[in-house]
């Protein structure tokens, strides 16, 4: 399977729930595609004009492909990038609570150091002890040569989804 085919298949599956933009640039980094999924829940009293509770959650997917042995996991750079773009990932809505950022990297075999860095990576940011929301981050690396998916702890639930691309 070629990287371009895999990227197109991922876009095809995600496009039913995500607003996909191809070749998107965020803070100077070009991604093959980005996607945003937003879910909003609102509770009303008697009519829709009287809102007594609402919250919004979103997930941002950023996908980038690499040539063999080009990928290098630099935790400090990624954390700096996340902190710099925190307002973008958090969103502008007042009722924004949960935000998930998913970095999908596609490339060749990983070094043991990069593999360990991905598995140990954790980025969680809460705002006012979680009262004003929080952000979590997933790292998903797809090794197309060995047909393997490597994730951090937050991305474990998505392994089944991404492994399904190797079944065909």
Smallest CA-to-CA distance from 137 within 62, 73, 72, 65 is with 62
Give the integer Cα–Cα distance in Å for 52 and 154.
Answer: 31
Residue with tokens 């979103």: 58
Q: What is the pLDDT of residue 27?
A: 85
Band (pLDDT 50/70/90 cuts) for residue 5 is: confident
* pLDDT surpasses 80 at 1: no
CB contact at 8 A, 67 and 32: no
Give the integer Cα–Cα distance in Å for 16 and 27.
Answer: 26
Write out pLDDT tens, residues 10-50. 999 999 999 999 988 888 888 999 999 999 899 999 888 89
Between the CA of residue 19 and those of 3, 94, 133, 165, what are the distances in Å? 21, 21, 22, 21
What percent of the chain has a predicted confidence (pLDDT) above 70?
Answer: 99
Q: What is the pTM of this model?
A: 0.87
Residue with tokens 């197109």: 8
Write out pLDDT tens, residues 123-132. 999 888 888 8
CB contact at 8 A, 97 and 55: yes
* pLDDT surpasses 70 at 168: no
């Amino acid at each position: 399977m070629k990287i371009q085919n895999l990227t197109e298949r991922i876009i095809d599956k995600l496009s039913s729930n995500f607003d996909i933009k191809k070749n998107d640039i965020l803070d100077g980094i070009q991604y093959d595609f980005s996607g945003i999924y937003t879910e909003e829940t609102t509770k009303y009293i008697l009519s829709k004009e009287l809102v007594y509770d609402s919250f919004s959650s979103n997930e941002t997917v950023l996908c980038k492909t690499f040539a063999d042995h080009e990928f290098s996991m630099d935790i400090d750079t990624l954390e700096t990038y996340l902190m710099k773009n925190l307002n973008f990932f958090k969103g502008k809505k007042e009722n924004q609570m949960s935000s998930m950022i998913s970095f999908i990297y596609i490339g060749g075999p990983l070094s043991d150091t990069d593999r360990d860095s991905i598995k140990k990576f954790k980025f969680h940011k809460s705002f006012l002890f979680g009262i004003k929301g929080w952000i979590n981050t997933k790292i998903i690396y797809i090794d197309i040569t060995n047909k393997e998916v490597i994730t951090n702890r937050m991305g474990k639930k998505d392994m089944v989804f991404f492994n399904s691309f190797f079944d065909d």
